Chain A
Amino acid sequence: MRNNLCLAIAVLAFSGCTPAGAQDRAVASDAGAINAEAAAKNFPRRGFSPYASRNYPTRVFWGDQHVHTGWSVDAGAFGASLGPEEALRFARGEEVVSSLGERAKLSRPLDWAAVTDHSDAAGVIFEIRDGNPNLMVDPQIKKWHDMMKSGQGVQAASEMIAAQSNNRVPPAMKDPRLAMSIWRKNTAIMEKYNEPGRFTAFIGFEWTSNAGGGDNLHRNVIYRDGKDKADQVLPMTTFDSENPEDLWKWMNGWEARTGGSLLAIPHNGNLSNGKMFALNTFTGNPLTRDWAEQRARWEPMYEITQIKGDGETHPALSPMDEFANFEKWDKANLAGVPKQPGMLEREYARRALQEGLKIEGSLGVNPFKFGFVGGTDTHTGLTTAEEDNFFGKHTGVEPSPKRWEHAVIKTDQVNIVGWQMAAAGYTGVWATENTREAIWDALKRKEAYSTTGPRMTVRFFGSFEFEPADAATRMPAEVGYEKGVPMGGDLRRAGQGKSPTFIAAAMKDPLSGNLDRIQIVKAWMDPNGVAQERVYDVAWSGDRKAGADGKLPPVGDTVDVENATWTNTIGAPELIAFWRDPNFDPSLRAVYYARVIEIPTPRWTAFDQKRFGVKMAPEITMKVQERAYTSPIWYTP
Chain B
Amino acid sequence: MTRLRRQLLAALALLAWVPPSSACGFEDPGSVTAARGILNFVYPQSLHVISAVWRAELDGELERDAAPAAVRALVGYRRSTRALETFGSFINNAAPTPAPAFSIVLLTPMLWTRFHRDDGAPVVTPHVNGPDAGDVVIVTDESVVAALAKGSLGAGRALELGLVRFYGPGDRVREVEQRVYELIARNVVH
Contacts and interface: CB of A to CB of B under 8 A. Distances in A.
A77 B9 CA distance: 13
Nearest to A239: B7
A100 B47 contact: yes
A398 B6 CA distance: 28
Interface residues of B, number: 56
B16 A409 contact: yes
A155 B130 contact: yes
Contact of A213 (B10, B14, B52): B10
Nearest to A337: B13
Given A153-B41, A393-B15, A409-B16, A164 B47 contact: no
A134 interface: no
Contacts of A161: 8, 20
Contacts of B36: 79, 396
A550 B15 CA distance: 42
A152 B6 CA distance: 27
Contacts of B130: 152, 154-155
A460 to B, nearest CB: 33
B125 interface: no
A154 B8 contact: no
B131 A154 contact: yes
B11 A238 contact: yes
Contacts of A100: 47-48, 50-51
Contact of B47 (A101, A157, A166): A101
Interface string A409-436: 1100000100000000000000000000
Contact of B11 (A70, A208, A394): A208
A413 to B, nearest CB: 13
Contacts of B38: 77, 79, 153-154, 157-158
Given A151-B135, A151-B137, A408 B6 contact: no
Contact of B30 (A79, A148, A410): A410
Interface string B77-95: 0000000000000000000
A120 B48 CA distance: 28
A167 interface: yes
Interface stretch (A399-407, A496-504, A562-570): A399-407
B120 interface: no
A77 B13 contact: no
A150 B133 contact: yes
B59 to A, nearest CB: 11
A400 B50 contact: yes
Q: Is the interface of A mostly helix, strand, loop or mixed?
A: loop
Interface in A125-175: 125-126, 129, 147-148, 150-158, 161, 164-167, 169
Given A213-B6, A613-B58, A208 B14 contact: yes
Contacts of A613: 58
A613 B34 CA distance: 27
A313 interface: no
A417 B43 CA distance: 28
A120 B7 contact: yes
A158 B20 contact: yes
Nearest to B53: A400
A118 B14 CA distance: 10
A613 B66 CA distance: 11
A631 to B, nearest CB: 27
Given A101-B47, A157-B38, A401-B57, A239 B4 contact: yes
B42 A148 contact: yes
A15 B84 CA distance: 90
Contacts of B13: 210, 214, 334-336
A318 to B, nearest CB: 28
Given A81-B41, A99-B47, A100-B50, A165 B16 contact: no
A557 interface: no
A74 B17 contact: yes
A295 B4 CA distance: 27
Contacts of B169: 150-151
Of residues A73, A77, A167, A210, which shows the largest number of chain B Cβ atoms within 10 Å of its Cβ?
A: A77
A132 to B, nearest CB: 15
A274 interface: no
Interface of A: 70, 73-81, 97-102, 118, 120, 125-126, 129, 147-148, 150-158, 161, 164-167, 169, 208, 210, 212-214, 238-239, 242, 334-336, 379, 393-396, 398-401, 405-410, 416, 612-613
Given A78-B15, A101-B50, A214-B10, 17 more contacts: A74-B14, A77-B12, A77-B38, A79-B36, A79-B47, A81-B47, A99-B47, A151-B131, A154-B42, A154-B129, A154-B130, A157-B41, A158-B38, A166-B2, A239-B4, A395-B37, A400-B50
7 contacts: A74-B12, A81-B47, A100-B48, A150-B134, A151-B167, A154-B131, A401-B57
Interface of B: 2, 4-18, 20, 29-30, 33-45, 47-52, 54, 57-58, 64, 69, 129-137, 162, 167-169
